[in-house]
């Protein structure tokens, strides 16, 4: 007899699955802007320089977010510049033309207040954060509960979701038996 266990926590399983890259999951690409809670503007990838001073709809504030794992590991690339948002070993946010290093991978965390925080996958506990003036904060000086690291995903002005919704059909015994009729 199977007894259901109450208060099961799947976070550990998700974390373990998130760490490993896999070839099974479908790579997802989304286009949106990240609105900074502190600066009141959007993150911009201006080549090697990163800021949070972008207006809604600004071409440098449009970000391509790639996911290619089961969990929430993402790479963020500026659509206009093709530079990736990365965090170097000193905790400084920089733009890099090649996003394959672990420094350019972030773990997306949806917080209780429905904001999103981006934690470095390489440097655990270091977050992407900005000051009120839109300047990047260094990773070691950031914490999950600070407003500086809270972001909201927004679609650029006049743009609907880039990806078409996934369509699926259910196959039952009945639907398999139905054969298309030939028009006479």
Is residue 88 within 8 A of residue 139, CB to CB? The reply is: no
pTM of the model as a whole: 0.73
Q: Where are the domains of the chain?
A: 11-177
Q: What is the pLDDT of residue 181?
A: 63
Q: What is the pLDDT of residue 72?
A: 82
* Structure tokens belonging to residue 87: 């965090």
Is residue 145 within 8 A of residue 44, CB to CB? The reply is: no
Q: How far apart are CA 114 and CA 99, in angstroms?
A: 27
Picking from 4, 54, 15, the residue whose alpha carbon sits closest to that of residue 34 is 54
pLDDT along the chain (184 residues), means of 10: 61 56 66 94 95 93 85 90 96 94 93 93 95 95 93 80 54 56 59
Element spanning 105, H or E: strand 105-110
Q: Which residues contact 148 (CB under 8 A, 6 or more apart)?
A: 37, 38, 129, 130, 131, 137, 142
Q: What is the pLDDT of residue 93?
A: 96
Q: What is the pLDDT of residue 116?
A: 94
Using the 8-state DSSP alphabet, how is residue 12 labeled?
Answer: H
Q: What is the pLDDT of residue 52?
A: 95
For domain 11-177, the CATH architecture is: Trefoil (2.80)
């Amino acid at each position: 007899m199977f007894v259901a266990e109450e208060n099961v926590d799947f976070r550990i399983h998700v974390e373990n699955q998130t760490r490993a890259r896999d070839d099974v999951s479908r790579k997802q690409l989304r286009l949106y802007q990240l609105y900074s809670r502190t600066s009141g503007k959007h993150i911009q990838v201006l080549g090697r320089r990163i800021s949070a001073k972008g207006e809604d709809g600004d071409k440098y504030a449009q970000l391509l977010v790639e996911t290619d794992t089961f969990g929430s590991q993402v790479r963020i690339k500026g659509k206009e510049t093709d530079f990736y948002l990365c965090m170097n070993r000193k905790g400084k946010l920089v733009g890099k033309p090649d996003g394959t290093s672990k420094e350019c991978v972030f773990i997306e965390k949806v917080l209780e207040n429905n904001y999103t925080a981006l934690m470095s996958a390489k440097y655990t506990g270091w977050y992407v954060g900005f000051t009120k003036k839109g300047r990047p904060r260094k990773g070691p000086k950031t914490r999950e509960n600070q407003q500086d690291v809270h972001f909201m995903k927004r679609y650029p002005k006049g743009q609907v979701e880039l990806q078409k919704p996934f369509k699926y059909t259910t196959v039952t015994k009945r639907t398999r038996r139905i054969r298309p009729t030939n028009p006479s």
